[in-house]
A and B are shown apart, each in its own frame.
Chain A
């Protein structure tokens, strides 16, 4: 029997708030889903949109992007810049027909271990319900399949 689908979720988090928040969740022995792989960044301002695309390309089913609440950035304005970028990036992806609900944006502070655990659980549940992310991979496979069919037809 095939194993039930377990989503791979990549979390891009900032060092100063969300990473510390996840740490707090750990030291408080809060249990949360194990589907998440955390990647630590100096700041949300460092999280290039290309990294998100690359994560999806390499098999992620869902993504969490999280950092300090507005006005709490360790570098004063990194999250404000990031927020603008996310607004634009999200609408861009939406315009290209990309399933944007697979990306969860959030603010989680260093004191919000509980919020982090809930966020991971919620995201895992929603991505599990969405199923594996095959659209992106199918971009290439359908092209190859079509080529095969055309070659056979010839």
Chain B
């Protein structure tokens, strides 16, 4: 991967490469590389979990235009979803990834990306599925108690928003104060509001990378909310997020025959 990255940077295919470097031997951290000489700091292994596609929204990154992106499969899937939302088309992105056989794969167009993602489409992580099943098997009062307990820990640092590649609105509902939709203090009721809002806005768009839950400093499994929502939407309306370049946003479309059983 280091050699390929150096080659791409040298021949001008890529101006800026976003990848991982080893941080004092602890865990890999995101790094930004502009010259071929620096490519030797790149690493890629099982610990490279960050979804680097979140950086593609930054102005400094967009200015580079030709981007190299070291990606895991979740990152590729989020780029697919972003492309289907008409984002990122101003950029020329080259994707560097490693397939399940451990070989380096270089994808240089949206079509190649689509084919690769569809061939290697990730499923819901086993530990998430287990947790969702556990929660769904609970009584409603138990679920309420569970989320009350979890959400009381939230201090609204908005790390889950910052780390999410799908949260790219320039003005977020959380910043709106006329009216104040989301309470700014870290009260549990306001946290409930915030997390419901976040999950609703990501419903049908979330690509289940699980970054929001992984990054949470309070250890709240917030990714379960969006994961549950995704499963629900897939079941009700069909379609998978980040599957195709032309995928339709479930909450922005409808079918006259949509089924429900609760409207009187």
Interface footprint category on A: 35 or more
Query: Which of A77, A97, A99, A136 has a CB less than 8 Å from the CB of B145?
Result: A97
Are A92 and B199 interface neighbours, CB within 8 A?
A: yes
| Nearest neighbor of B259 in chain A, beta-carbon distance | A87
| Nearest neighbor of B144 in chain A, beta-carbon distance | A97
Complexed CA–CA distance, A139 and B145 (Å): 10
Give B residues with C-beta under 8 Å from A: 135-136, 140-148, 152, 173, 181, 187-189, 192-193, 195-197, 199-200, 203-204, 225, 228-229, 232-233, 236-237, 250-256, 258, 260, 262-264
Are B173 and A96 interface neighbours, CB within 8 A?
A: no
15 A–B contacts, CB within 8 A, in A order:
A50-B197, A80-B255, A83-B260, A88-B204, A88-B233, A88-B236, A88-B251, A92-B196, A92-B203, A94-B140, A95-B135, A96-B143, A97-B148, A135-B144, A142-B188
| Nearest neighbor of A77 in chain B, beta-carbon distance | B254
Q: Name which of A8-16, A31-39, A102-110 contacts chain B.
A: A102-110
Question: Among residues 106 to 123 in chain A, which have CB atoms less than 8 Å away from a CB atom of chain B?
Answer: 106-107, 119
Complexed CA–CA distance, A70 and B203 (Å): 23
Complexed CA–CA distance, A53 and B183 (Å): 12
| Nearest neighbor of A122 in chain B, beta-carbon distance | B264
* A137 interfacial contact with B, CB 8 Å: yes
Q: Which residues of B contact A30 (CB under 8 A)?
A: none
Q: Which residues of B contact A92 (CB under 8 A)?
A: 196, 199-200, 203, 225, 228-229, 232
> Shortest beta-carbon distance, B135 to chain A, in Å?
7
* A90 interfacial contact with B, CB 8 Å: yes
> Shortest beta-carbon distance, B179 to chain A, in Å?
8
| Nearest neighbor of A84 in chain B, beta-carbon distance | B254
| Nearest neighbor of B233 in chain A, beta-carbon distance | A88
Q: Which residues of A contact B236 (CB under 8 A)?
A: 87-88
Give A residues with C-beta under 8 Å from B: 49-50, 53-54, 57, 70-71, 77, 80-81, 83-99, 104-107, 119, 135-137, 139-140, 142-143
Tell whether A139 pairs with B192 under 8 Å between CB atoms, given A92-B200, A95-B225, A97-B142: yes
Q: Which residues of A contact B203 (CB under 8 A)?
A: 88, 92
Query: Which of A54, A88, A140 has a CB less than 8 Å from the CB of B187?
Result: A140
| Nearest neighbor of A118 in chain B, beta-carbon distance | B264
Q: Which residues of B contact A50 (CB under 8 A)?
A: 173, 181, 193, 197
Complexed CA–CA distance, A97 and B237 (Å): 23
Are B187 and A139 interface neighbours, CB within 8 A?
A: yes
Tell whether A84 pairs with B262 under 8 Å between CB atoms, given A92-B199, A92-B203, A96-B143: no
Query: Which of A94, A106, A140 has a CB less than 8 Å from the CB of B263?
Result: A106
| Nearest neighbor of B147 in chain A, beta-carbon distance | A96
> Shortest beta-carbon distance, A44 to chain B, in Å?
10
Complexed CA–CA distance, A127 and B94 (Å): 57
Complexed CA–CA distance, A100 and B203 (Å): 19
Q: Which residues of A contact B181 (CB under 8 A)?
A: 50, 54
